[in-house]
Amino acid sequence: MGRSPCCDENGLKKGPWTSEEDQKLTDYIEKHGHGSWRALPKLAGLNRCGKSCRLRWTNYLRPDIKRGKFTPEEEQTILQLHSVLGNKWSAIAKHLPGRTDNEIKNFWNTHLKKKLIQMGFDPMTHRPRTDFLAALPQLIALANLRQLVEQRPWDDQSASQLQADAVQAAKLEYLQCLLQSAAAIATSPSSSSINTSPTELEQIGLLSPSQMSSLSSLSSPRILEGVNGQDLVTWQVPDIQIPSSSFFEHEQPIINGTNQNSDYSANGGEGEKLLLLSEDSLPPLADFPISNLGDACSTSSCEAVGNSTQLPIWSDSFYDEFMSEFA
């Protein structure tokens, strides 16, 4: 299938359209329809290629084009559809009457993508970004390395404790985010597996071997039906010792079966606690609605987004404080 020479043809005008050209194109299409786009320019008296004419008509001159800012409802629809369809702009445009694929694409690239990134989401996966978390093991190692390099006398009890707590906190936050991501993945019908296994956690030094053995059941989360029809992802998790330093004083324990918060139910026996992960069950993270699943969504494919009404991100204050611990 060869390429059409189209606009490469000599003498054809490129660039912005004049009002005269717009008028000629509109008049012709209103009278005759566009027919063959390739033949149209000549018939309409335009010194343009058919491709340029088609683009001008579909993106600008078409009478049913909706102009002006995108409404919040349209924004939500785009977010929802993009999470399902990806960069299928024409498919998304079919759900937004009067909007062109080009317009939606521009709106995505100039507004929505940036918005998602600012909010801590990967604009392609619509999940919390974990790129900086990839550096966490290195940060942990760095913190430990500093300890060695500085060769400080670690009989200084408080400094030592702070250092250890920071490292432990980093490990726990990393683990928490992995669990959170796993919950998001497990509740997403489009995903079937969790990428980070307990073995990997062990490999990066996140958990001790004893913790690993009790955490092995994490690789097989279970989805339970929650009280309000909201699915809950569950793992059998061990008690993990939470550091008690000032670093955590304002934070609630991350994994603690004895926590009285309703989302953490201590119904496991034999020293095991059942951790219930609903989408808002992890206290240190800042929750906010990524999409209000709403009314604009009517297709079956759109329903697939239904489980991700709220996704967590790291709060800025926590992130800053966390990073400052390693600075």
Partner DNA sequence: AAGAATCCCAACCGCAAGTTG
Partner DNA sequence: GCAACTTGCGGTTGGGATTCT
Note the residues at the interface with DNA (CB under 7 A).
Answer: 1-4, 6-8, 13-17, 35-39, 50-52, 54-56, 59-60, 87-91, 101-103, 105-107, 109-111
Compute the distance between CA of residue 152 and CA of residue 160 in angstroms, rounded to an integer: 10
Please identify, using beta-carbon distances, which residue of 109 and 213 lies nearer to DNA.
109
Please identify, using beta-carbon distances, which residue of 43 and 134 lies nearer to DNA.
43
For the CB of residue 68, give the shortest distance to DNA in the complex, in Å.
Answer: 9
Q: Give, rounded to a whole angstrom, the gap between the first and last alpha carbons of the chain.
A: 57
CB 223 within 8 A of CB 231: yes
Tokens standing for residue 293 = 């699943």
For the CB of residue 126, give the shortest distance to DNA in the complex, in Å.
Answer: 15
Tokens standing for residue 78 = 């785009």
In the block, residue with structure tokens 């709060």: 315
Please identify, using beta-carbon distances, which residue of 126 and 273 lies nearer to DNA.
126
Please identify, using beta-carbon distances, which residue of 36 and 258 lies nearer to DNA.
36
For the CB of residue 54, give the shortest distance to DNA in the complex, in Å.
Answer: 5
Tokens standing for residue 256 = 């603690």
Count of beta carbons in the 10 Å neighbourhood of residue 152:
13
Tokens standing for residue 124 = 């392609």
CB 142 within 8 A of CB 149: no
For the CB of residue 325, give the shortest distance to DNA in the complex, in Å.
Answer: 29
Q: Residue 238 region, left (φ>0) first, then alpha (ψ -120 to 50), else beta?
A: beta
For the CB of residue 201, give the shortest distance to DNA in the complex, in Å.
Answer: 33
